[in-house]
Structures are given as structure tokens and as C-alpha cells.
Amino acid sequence: MTFLSNLLDLVTLAPDHLIASLAFLGAVMAANDTLRTSLMIEFTRSAFVHVIINVMTLLPAGLLAVVLLVAAYRFPQRGWVNLAFAVLLYAAWYFGGAVTRLARRDSEGADPGFMFVGALITFPVGILAAVVF
């Protein structure tokens, strides 16, 4: 298998690579929070970096929405199960954000408001994908 097909299996929660998929997506979320916090610390005055940080705050929600959509398309019988895995990945997102608060107390990581907005992005797409496919 090629690199792209392996990556596609990882980001679509393929049943035979489920543990690896969850680990990969959780690591991407944690890396996103770590990079976002390091940008906050290093480039405190840059307006451009501030925009990037704001986008990165909700990037995991968009990523999970795309993952749920593509996973429901590739494995239609698993649409509802994948929503449960998305909740598990939200726990990883929350944990990654909580860790970033060790470096900077004013980080938006693990903020319930941002997590709720992220859920409003992710779960309607996932529910719609589970119903349609």
C-alpha cells in the first residue's frame, strides 16, 4: 500500500486500523495545541500569527468533521459508531489543551466555550453523514 492509501485509512477510521487511526488523530490534535501555544509564546505581537492561532483553535473540530464525513462515505455501516469515536477524540483534544495551560495560563486550550463551538461544527456534520450514508 502506498503512503496516501495508508493515510486515507488512518483518517477515515478504517475498522482494521482503528487503534492506529485514533492514536494518529489524537496526536494530530495534541500537536495542533502544542504548536498553537508555542506560536502564542514566540510571536506575541504578530497580527498574522494571531489569525493563524485563532484558526488553529478550531482546526481539530473541522478536521473531525471531515473525518466523520469521509469515514461515513467509505464505511456507511459505521456512521453512528464513528460519532462515539469522535467524542473520544474530543477528550484527547481537551487533554491536549489542558496540557498547554501548563505553559501559558491564558491559552484557549481546554476552554469549554471553544469546545462547544467545535462540537457545533463536528457533530452536525457527523450526524448528517450517518443519516445520509
Does 79 score more than 70 pLDDT? yes
pLDDT tens digits, one per residue of 28-65: 998 998 899 899 889 989 999 999 998 998 999 999 99
In the chain, how many domains are there?
Answer: 1
Over the chain, what HEC string results?
A: CCHHHHHHHHHCCCHHHHHHHHHHHHHHHHHHHHHHHHHHHHCCCCHHHHHHHHHHHHHHHHHHHHHHHHHHHHCHHHHHHHHHHHHHHHHHHHHHHHHHCCCCCCCCCCCHHHHHHHHHHHHHHHHHHHHHC
pLDDT tens digits, one per residue of 25-36: 999 998 998 899
Q: What's the whole-number mean pLDDT along residues 9-13?
A: 90
Q: Note the pTM of the prediction, 2 decimals.
A: 0.90
Rounded to the nearest integer, the mean pLDDT of the chain is 91
- List the domain range (segments joined by +) for residue 28: 3-132
CA distance 9 to 21: 8
State the pLDDT confidence band at 96, using cuts at 50, 70 and 90.
Answer: confident
